[in-house]
Amino acid sequence: MIFTILKVIGIILLVVLALILTALLCVLFVSVKYRAVGSFDNTDIRAKAHVSWLFHLFALHIEYAQETDGYIRFAFVKKKLFDNYEALDDDDMDEAAKTETEDKVSENTGDEPKIPADESEHVADEQAEDECTARTHNEYRSVTDENQHIKQQTKPTHKKTYKKPHKKSHKKQFKDKSDKIKNCIYKLKREYSDERNKAAFLHLKKELFIILKRICPRRLKLTMVYSTGSPDTTGISLGILACFPVGYTNRWRITPDFESEKPYAKGSFDIKGHVIVISILAATLRILFDKNCRRLYNRISR
């Protein structure tokens, strides 16, 4: 009996360990896919972004047109990320517009809403009752004001003063942060000029380039027609764009418009790629366990 119980417990533990190991391997080796598509026409930008993992078991979707909308989904559970106000129906909008128009007309003409003849006596009784209630309320308020005036006269004149806690202004906080950033940049420049830290910077450059290469999209399509409003600056900008090899590898289609006198840009884009967590984690661990990088970190953090 005891061996049977131990056998069942052992099987349960093995199943739990297998599930944990499977989940860990999925996180490390299953790629996270992402894609973004959209179009733009000067300031009118429309875009969609989608991130998925493990055969769309986990998904993140975001859309942007005039408003931002999106959701996050895990298995069959979906949750919205943004709470947008729902638009009114056409009938509700027509009714609201009609009511507003009637109110404006009554304000301009000074006409009061008509009361049916059979309800005039009832309205007169309600008006008399309201006048009586208002008179009673005014009398009660006058008595209350007199009592309050007497309390203020008898109240001691000494007032306690409380010191407000000192808070740094936004300018002071911004100055402190900028000083910290400047100090960090100064330390980096000082350590970079030191011959003993060249190995650490070379290793950092190599690993960061690997991380950037793993994160960058595999496909980056761009189709654009643009003009800067002047033929010379349009040609200069086209020459600058031609210097980037990413345009040749992804076959960008960029058409300059030398005849337009107004600056504009319109087109579409399609970005697609994936990220494998194990490659990013491996590069990060190689940086953390490198003795030259650790020594550089200790010198900067002093």
- Please state the domain extents for the chain: 212-301
Residue whose pair of structure tokens reads 């061996």 in the numeric block: 3
Give the residue among 272, 276, 273 at the shortest CA–CA distance from 211.
276
Cα separation, 264 vs 204, in Å, equals 41
Please write the tens of the pLDDT for every residue from 235-275. Answer: 999 999 888 888 888 889 999 999 998 999 999 999 999 99
Backbone phi and psi for residue 113, each to the nearest 5 degrees, phi listed first: -60, 140
Please write the tens of the pLDDT for every residue from 14-71. Answer: 999 999 999 999 999 999 999 999 999 988 999 999 999 988 889 999 999 888 899 9
- The pTM (predicted TM-score) of the whole model is 0.63
Contact of 226 with 238, CB cutoff 8 Å: no
Cα separation, 172 vs 179, in Å, equals 10
Contact of 229 with 261, CB cutoff 8 Å: yes
- With a cut of 50, say whether residue 93 has pLDDT above it: no
